Amino acid sequence: MEKINSLQNAHVKMWKKLQTKKGRKQQALYLLDGWHLVNEAVKAKVSIKTLLITEKQLATNPDLTKFPAVIEISEEVASHISATVTPQGVFALVNLPKAAADPLANLDLSRPWLLLDNVQDPGNIGTMVRTADAAGFAGVAFGTGTVDVHQPKVERAMQGSQFHLQLLSTDLTDLVARFHAEDKPVYGSELNPEAAQYLDIDAPASFGLVMGNEGNGMSDELLALTDKNLYIPIKGRAESLNVAIAAGILMFGLYR
């Protein structure tokens, strides 16, 4: 088994670059950090290229030596390539999915989709993906300006739900057009005089739900394309809801 202990090793330098979108694109790889994500990837039969594991973790999990490609790394290397303060010492190098000629061609539109418009916070994104998974949605679309799906903090925040539903990076206007072409409504989320209370909506089995930027909400372009914009009535004195909380209420409220 290959062992790597030095931060100056060429492989280590490349793995470190996987924390950036440019590095992931150049290497056609992304990094999963921690037991839970690695196990979820294995269960989902995701294309894992190499396991990286520290001596300590390998000692308690000797069966991992049977994995087709395993590299033992030092604790120092583990800390260097991880985006966490206290890494668990196990990583997976995963092949980036190959870009489809038409990313909208094979979408499951039998169930709802969550569309993220310029959402910036990895924690919010992870919470919304997990909630979409729990609510039974078919997929989540990452629109222009939304943080990259394979950014380490986003991967970690999704906690494995990324392997349970479809994830798509696309121009949301194209996806909205696809929904409309199949007579499926797309709902926005904005409080305005024309907006409807979400409890008054009798949503069909399949629809799109757009959630906008944490501070600025949905883009005007998308607001103009939605079939109906929805709001959540607030009974207390809070001015607004966190976007992930609002998304959860809307997803479970609309997809009953």
- Please give the backbone phi and psi of residue 59, each rounded to the nearest 5 degrees, phi first: -65, -30
pLDDT tops 90 at residue 103: no
**How high is the pLDDT of residue 66?**
80
Query: Half-sphere exposure (CA, 13 Å, Cβ side) for 120?
Result: 6
Integer CA distances (angstroms), 244 to 108, 142, 215, 224, 234, in order: 23, 14, 13, 22, 16
Q: How confident is the model at residue 186 (pLDDT cuts 50, 70, 90)?
A: very high
Lowest mean per-residue pLDDT among 34-48, 78-92, 181-195? 181-195
What does the pLDDT average to over 177-204? Answer: 91
**pLDDT reported for residue 21:** 94
> 2-95 and 113-254: same fold?
no
The CATH number of 113-254 is: 3.40.1280.10
**DSSP letter string over 97-120?**
PPPPSSTTTT---SS-EEEESS--
pLDDT digits (tens, 9 = 90+) for 140-183: 999 989 999 999 999 999 999 999 999 999 999 999 999 999 99
The domain covering 2-95 belongs, at the CATH homologous superfamily level, to: Ribosomal protein L30/S12 (3.30.1330.30)
In this prediction, residue 116 has a pLDDT band, given cuts at 50, 70 and 90, of very high
pLDDT score of 61 more than 90:
no
pLDDT value at residue 97: 86
Residues 145 and 117 sit within 8 Å (Cβ to Cβ): yes
Average pLDDT over residues 67-84: 94
Domain boundaries, the chain: 2-95, 113-254
Q: CB of 140 within 8 A of CB of 113?
A: yes
CA distance 87 to 185: 43
Q: Residue 29 has which token pair?
A: 């790889």
pTM value is 0.92
Contact criterion met (CB below 8 Å) for 165 and 139: yes
Residues with Cβ < 8 Å from 30, sequence gap 6 or more? 18, 24, 93, 94, 96, 150, 155
